[in-house]
Amino acid sequence: MSWLEQLQTSPALLWLVVLFAVLLPLPSSYHPLTFFRFFAQKLAQKVNPDPKRNIFQLRLSGTLALLLALLPFLALLYASNSLMAWPEWYQLLLLYLCLDFAPIRQRIIRLQQALAAQQLTLARDLASKVMLRQTRSLSSLGLSKAGIESLWLHFAHIWLNTLFWYLLGGIWLAIAIRLLLILQQEWSTKLSHNQHFGAPASILARYLLWPGYWLCFLLVCIRLRCRNSFRQLGRAPVKTFDRAQTACLVSACASLGCRLGGPAIYEAEQKVTRDKLATDYPEPDHRHLLGALKAQQHLLHFVLLLLGMAVAGWYLLLWYH
């Protein structure tokens, strides 16, 4: 059964899988994608031991490592599918595993609680487990801003992007892109030793992330703040963020009434210049981070509602015909 036939014959199962991913997420310590992240880290250590090599060699190593990481895993999963008695259930299980956003949200919740309790040292330690930035020197303001950006972008990456590519091309396309995004994060070009090695994964992932960013912007426009979102998008510069990522972040600005963007430190205390977004809004604090958690949950419920309405509409069409 093809992915399209499966989607047409069991849309209710798809909705239930998405619901289970929200209500009964798998802990990160038991999650298969945690193993894949560990594998990606060890692979990079093996094939990228010297970041001072020739740029061509580094990019070639990054391309080969990308293929070595993706192809065996995809081949193994595809071969396993043919051995399953109920391959459609197996594919829905894989979709459930791809929607692994809950561990990140839980860390952001703990970060917000630490900031609200003015436990800055704990907040910095929690933030370092969610984002690549150097958190040792971040103030409460900087941690709140970084937490909001991380929450909003991860929601677009993991939830919206995965569902979009699944509905567009089926589970194998969704898994391939989900694994690619993990490699892009683990080999981030924001770190100097991955600047050229991680470029192949980063360039490819950059364009595949666009649907999730724009879906996040459109959901905010429909559910929360339409006029403010378009106003902030029209005023936002696009020098250090591309237009899609800008749209995603300004939707957060419009939802929460705070500014985002600005310089970020990733390593060696060196500041990376980034555009400032929504400069007419105040700087965020832990209350804005709490608002971001609530707004993101509302968006997630809205996605479930839209999927539920689509499923109900599909069955109504079948009933009338």
pTM here is: 0.91
CA distance 93 to 17: 8
pLDDT at residue 8, rounded to an integer:
47
How many separate domains does the chain show?
A: 1
The domain containing residue 52 runs over which residues?
3-320
Listed in sequence order, the DSSP H helices in 187-285 are 199-208, 210-223, 226-235, 243-256
Environment class of 286 (CB within 10 Å of its CB; exposed 0-12, middle 13-18, buried 19+): buried
Residue type, 73: F
Asked if 237 and 245 count as a contact pair (C-beta separation under 8 A), the reply is: no
Picking from 119, 148, 105, the residue whose alpha carbon sits closest to that of residue 287 is 148
Q: What does R_g of the chain's alpha carbons equal in angstroms?
A: 20
Tell me how far apart the terminal alpha carbons of the chain are, to the nearest angstrom: 23
pLDDT-flagged residues of the chain (< 70)? 1-9, 224-225, 238, 240, 268-270, 321
Nearest of 154, 18, 170, 42 to residue 97 by alpha carbon: 18
Contacts of 18 (CB under 8 A, 6+ apart): 99, 163, 303, 304, 307
